[in-house]
Structure 1
Amino acid sequence: MKRRLAGSAVAGLVAASLLVTACSSDADGGDDGAAAPIEGAGGAGETGEDPTPEEPAGDPTPEDDGIDRPEIRVADDLEMVFEEPETDDPVERAIILDSQRQLEAVYEVVTNHEPENESISFYTQGNALLREMGLIDIFLEERSASAGRMFYFDWGVEILDRESALVTFCRDYSEIYTKDFATGEVIEEADGEALPTRYVNRVELGDNGVWQTHEKEAEVDSPRC
């Protein structure tokens, strides 16, 4: 069962309802094609003839940048696997790594039911934060959680300016199932035939030195994955 919504001004919150059934409705950013398009995302991840934009600000060693980050602990029964980015550019790697941490921060709360955790707001702001909190509220109300294995792949970065960029990636959630948080009972089995979802996220460099996710757009059953 895949839940789909028509477009609306509150898509950032309502789209989260698509994600409750993680195995078939894409539990983290799911079917929110109804969300308003992200500015500048028309050709994200695609080669064009536009001149190369100005290199953004960023730390040259993103893996060890000295930022005091909150610890993230996703529940043991959810495995989040991230394909190694092909880029060696330090700024692009910093952007991708912070985008991965943003995803982990969301699922830390989804799998542990600890909404007071500060990691989400550390990596998420703007419309994306509203959307993620809407997703979390649904999991908490239904007392459910995601489990299984998620695979994130095909990472790409398009620099917009010194403090903003678009991040593209795909997610395979065909091994994700939904469970009752309290009992562990499987609520809905994984959909082994589920096709990947492609994401385009807009990130901005925050005052804390972190590339924070501000907007999210998703293409469910994407042929580009």
Structure 2
Amino acid sequence: MNRRPALLAAATLTVAAALALSACGGGEGDSKGNDKIAGADSGDEAKESQAPSATAPSDSVDRPKIVVPKDVKLVFTPEAAGDEKTDAVLRDNAEYWRAIIDSIEKQDPKSEPVRFYSKGAGLLGTIEWSGNFIKSDMTLAGTVRFTDRKVTFSKDGSAGLTYCSDESKGYTKDRKTHKKNVTPASKDSYILYNDRLRKNADGVWQLTNSTSEMGSAQCQP
């Protein structure tokens, strides 16, 4: 199956649709296989080519280990905003994306890190997203930049996070042959994300919902 070369945009439309259906109370057909996924309720590169996430939060939370291949680079701007609460959201969002890369590399869409950093509709959509790559026997490489990250807090305790994704330097590759799928960047290499997160009892900001706009004019260079 041919897929877009961009690191994350390959399944954006599928995931956005799944999340939108879940958010509206629909999407029952999409979630039948995930009924028993922990946390989903509403409430071959060699090992030496991989390295643990170097920027994992250094707090008292017992976080799962995330391994990101050395040929994948995720850049987050800003990494911090100077406010403790905002910075916690930004850090956990970054770990969420690293968890996705880790799950695809391990061919485990329901991995512990994915379930740790997402919940409900966010978890179900993330599992489907990662699963699309795994079913196609594709893995990921290259650089993706997440920019203009802005956090707002709602009265209900949740957090909103908007940001742009520049996937022009990312690509997919065949897991068996390691052949890279690289094509010129286009407007669809730039995506606008609008996420909703909520802090759980352990103090982790989990993704609960997300929408995305591929080719967003707001994110074009």
Which one-letter code corresponds to 1:79 in the other structure?
A: K
**CA spacing shift, 1:207–1:78, aligned 2, 3 Å:** same
Match of 2:151? 157
Note if contact 2:7-2:141 (Cα within 8 Å) is conserved in structure 1.
no
The equivalent position to 2:186 in structure 1, one of 171, 183, 193, is 193
1:193-214 Cα shifts (integer Å, max 9, x gaps): 3441010000001122100000
Question: For the residues of structure 2 that align with 1:86 and 1:223, how far apart are their CA atoms?
Answer: 25
Question: If the length of structure 1 is used for normalisation, what is the TM-score?
Answer: 0.73
> For residues 28-177 of structure 1, what are the structure 2 equivalents within 5 Å?
29=12, 34=17, 36=20, 63-85=57-79, 87-115=81-109, 117-161=111-155, 163-177=157-171
Question: For the residues of structure 1 that align with 2:10 and 2:99, how far apart are their CA atoms?
Answer: 14
* Structure (1/2) with the larger helix percentage: 2
Note if contact 1:102-1:120 (Cα within 8 Å) is conserved in structure 2.
yes
Question: For the residues of structure 2 that align with 1:67 and 1:24, how far apart are their CA atoms?
Answer: 29
The equivalent position to 2:9 in structure 1, one of 18, 22, 26, is 26
1:70-124 Cα shifts (integer Å, max 9, x gaps): 1111112211111224621110110111011111101111133234530000000
Deviation at residue 159 of structure 1 after TM alignment? 0.4
* Structure 2: unaligned runs, 5 residues or longer: 25-55
Deviation at residue 65 of structure 1 after TM alignment? 2.8
Question: For the residues of structure 2 that align with 1:25 and 1:213, how far apart are their CA atoms?
Answer: 16
1:21-63 Cα shifts (integer Å, max 9, x gaps): 3428714645766553979xxxxxxxxxxxxxxxxxxxxxx95
Question: If the length of structure 2 is used for normalisation, what is the TM-score?
Answer: 0.74
* Structure 1: unaligned runs, 5 residues or longer: 1-16, 40-61
**CA spacing shift, 1:200–1:111, aligned 2, 3 Å:** same
Which one-letter code corresponds to 2:192 in the other structure?
A: R
Question: For the residues of structure 2 that align with 1:151 and 1:219, how far apart are their CA atoms?
Answer: 16
**CA spacing shift, 1:116–1:193, aligned 2, 3 Å:** closer
Give the SS at the match of 1:64: coil
Deviation at residue 145 of structure 1 after TM alignment? 1.3
**CA spacing shift, 1:24–1:96, aligned 2, 3 Å:** closer
Note if contact 1:30-1:197 (Cα within 8 Å) is conserved in structure 2.
no
Question: For the residues of structure 2 that align with 1:100 and 1:28, how far apart are their CA atoms?
Answer: 19
Note if contact 1:202-1:215 (Cα within 8 Å) is conserved in structure 2.
yes
How many residues align? The count is: 185
Note if contact 1:127-1:215 (Cα within 8 Å) is conserved in structure 2.
yes
